[in-house]
Amino acid sequence: MGAAPNDNTGKKGISRQFMYLLTVLAILLPLVFPVGMPVSVTPWVEKGYQHVEKLNPGDKVLISFDYSASGAADIHPAAEAIFKHLMDKDVKVITVAFVAEGNRFPGMLMSAWEEQGKVYGEDFIHLGFLSGHETGLAALFADIPGAAPVDSRGNPVTSYPIMDGVKTVADCKMFIGLSGGNPGPQQYVRQLEPYQGVEIFTACTAAIAPTVEPYLASGQIVGLVGGLKGAAEYETVMGYAGKASANMDAQSFAHLLVIGFIVAGNIIHFTSKKNEGN
Amino acid sequence: MSTDLGIWLSALLSLAAFSFLIKENKFYNIAESAFIGVGTGYAFVMAWSNIQSKGFGQIAQGDYLTIVPVLLGLCLFGKMSKSTAWIGRYPAAMLMGMGSAIAIRGAVQSELVRQIAATCVPLNSVNNIIVVVGTLATVSYFLFSMKSTGSQLSGGINALSKLGRWVMMVSFGAAFANATMQRCAQLIDRLRFLFEEWIYLIR
Amino acid sequence: MRTEVPVAIAVISGFIILIAHFFNIAPIQAAATHLQDWGILIAAFAIVVSAANLLMVHIGRLSNQREEAWKKVNSVIVIGLFLATAVTGVISRDHHVFNWLYDRIMLPLGVTFVSMNMFYLVTAAFRAFRAQSLEASLLLGAGIIVLLGNAPVVEAFVPWFSKAATWVMGAPNMAAQRGLMIGAAIGAVQTGLRVICGLDRSYL
């Protein structure tokens, strides 16, 4: 990264630092003085929720934590909400990570649920990190114990009750991909194509959410939780207000600020052009 | 304010990183170096766990065929020097060949066949018309170009390509909005941490 | 040999994977499964090599007498934190120091670096986003609709923004993304086939 530009004044005397200050205030003030507006639920979040709701106790779900620290603020709230939903339904969860930094997040969730009585090895298991991105995905889906012979705690995966009867991804009812980019929904759909009985549900950063729409429309992915707003919608449909919902006021005002700057910049630009023309 | 050393460290590093907004400085460089050091260490540990469990662990259990990928992996160290870089070509070639095949076998069915099939919808609603025409226009923008000879065909193709550009602009606008939302969420997380867990301004 | 053997390896491994996908021949299926497992291992070695390379660069900086003192300090930080993370992580991936380093350094900084883009976005919104053509207007218009539709404060007063945003994402955006996907898939298949047939040797 090079040095930041020293140009302090924007067009018509609005300095960079003033714009930065407005940005901080637009986010900070709603956090300090929350408004608490309700969050409406979009169709694809609702559909994803319904598909998870149809799972039965004892069904197995494979979740891939493929986001790093840079995507954590966007996706981890969704991961928490979806994990809570699965735990509330006594669904058995097998987790894995194809991004090195993503390996930390299953442990965070599982530690919290172990304190509430869930048992590692029976209710959930973390297979650890597998390198290779799409190659790793292909290897895991074809042979789970073969691709991940030991779990994140260093024990043989076949020694845990949750892995009984799990040979390939076809032994799971659903695959949930939590993605920051690569591997992402494109890779999940490509590698799960031979396993048509496994539903794909994805939560991803807001930036890649637009690229998932074709898979939603074709039915290859059954639901999408896109970014922090999507996580807030999932919390709403589950009936509680968690971390994502608490940040929605700040998100709203930040959006309004960006739009305000776009409109103001265009008005100033076109009026000054008009004046120059005159 | 918090009295936890870890929270103070996180807060000061975050502020050091934010200081880049004013000007690149030594505090920012410290934060950058810390991130690189821990990040590389973390990735190394994860990779090492794979090498232990799937490499040396399998060999110790009698799967001697695993010696082949271990040797190929060690060949990658050849890339660290110009004189031995050629040794690293063998594992790189295997990864490229495999990766290409893995991508192709999935792409044909899931991205071509299924997506083209999903585009074949009856033109009985505005949305369906937009989907079909928009998809055809976008594909024609990338695949077809004809010199404007004044003929109806070249005029039609070029008009369709232009429509494809317009449809893509709408998509890029949606992408811009979503990218803004993601950056916004990250900044909200940082400010919430600084003013809730560090300074206790947010209750 | 230095070119022909790697190309042969790429061709053979690619064809094994493809043939295993289309035909159910037991030895080929077994070979494909082995190859995919080997891919995980080789990719893991690639990460170790990149870490080793980074260490070499920073150790080189420390031993270079002409290097600035401040850059040497940064290199000490990189090497020191790398060793602390690597050693504790190799001892145990549940080591409290290993997790602490991730939670208190890696995670906050990772979020911070990305969040800084928000500030640049805001200044760009004011200085650079101009509706000077139909295409730019379409881009900005769609962006504004999606931003307003994802702001609960706005939804509370004007509910149809949310529906408009959902429509933009689900109709024109979806059509464009599908077109892009089809075009990209054709390109990916073409490039992949060129690699598997040994015609594209850019990886050498």
- Provide the CATH number for the domain around residue A69: 3.40.50
pLDDT band at B150 (very low <50, low <70, confident <90, very high): low
Distances in Å between the alpha carbon of A270 and those of A114, A261, A275, B17, C144?
A: 60, 14, 9, 36, 19
Is-contact A40 A233, C-beta < 8 A?
yes
Is residue C43 less than 8 Å (CB to CB) from chain B? yes
Is residue A181 less than 8 Å (CB to CB) from chain C? no
Is-contact A186 A67, C-beta < 8 A?
no
In a domain, A144, yes or no: yes
Domain that holds residue C41: 1-91
Whether the per-residue pLDDT at C41 is higher than 90: the answer is: yes
Q: Closest residue of B to C165, CA-based? A: B174
pLDDT at A13 (0 to 100): 60
Per-residue pLDDT, averaged over C69-91, amounts to 95
| Nearest of A236, A220, A177 to residue A49 by alpha carbon | A236
Domain that holds residue A49: 43-240
Q: What is the DSSP string of A114-148?
A: HTTT--BTTTEEEEEE--STHHHHHHHHH-HHHH-
**Closest Cβ opposite residue C151 in set A138, A256, A264:** A256
> Is the ipTM reported for this complex over the cut 0.85?
yes
Alpha carbons C41 and C96: distance in angstroms, whole number = 27
pLDDT at A90 (0 to 100): 96
pLDDT at A3 (0 to 100): 41
Is residue A248 less than 8 Å (CB to CB) from chain C? yes
Per-residue pLDDT, averaged over C6-24, amounts to 93
Q: Provide, rounded to the nearest whole percent, the portion of chain C with pLDDT above 90.
A: 80
CA atoms within 13 A on the CB side of A97: 25
What are the sequence ranges of the domains in chain B? 123-197
| Number of structural domains found in chain C | 1
Divide the 278 residues of chain A into consecutive groups of 10 and give the mean pLDDT of each group. 45 78 95 90 96 96 96 95 97 97 95 95 96 92 93 93 95 97 94 93 96 96 96 95 92 95 92 80
In a domain, C87, yes or no: yes
| Number of structural domains found in chain A | 1
In a domain, A265, yes or no: no
Is-contact A103 A129, C-beta < 8 A?
yes
Distant-in-sequence, close-in-space partners of A136: CB < 8 Å, separation ≥ 6: A98, A130, A147, C39, C40, C43
Whether the per-residue pLDDT at B203 is higher than 80: the answer is: no
In a domain, C14, yes or no: yes
Residues of C in contact with A269 (CB under 8 A): 130
Is residue A189 less than 8 Å (CB to CB) from chain B? yes
pLDDT at A12 (0 to 100): 54
Q: Mark yes or no for CB contact A265/C178 under 8 Å.
A: no
Distant-in-sequence, close-in-space partners of B135: CB < 8 Å, separation ≥ 6: B119, C175, C176, C178, C179, C182
pLDDT at C3 (0 to 100): 84
Q: How many CB atoms lie within 10 A of CB C130?
A: 15
C197 vs chain B: nearest CA distance in angstroms?
Answer: 9
Q: Mark yes or no for CB contact B187/A129 under 8 Å.
A: no
Is residue C177 less than 8 Å (CB to CB) from chain A? yes
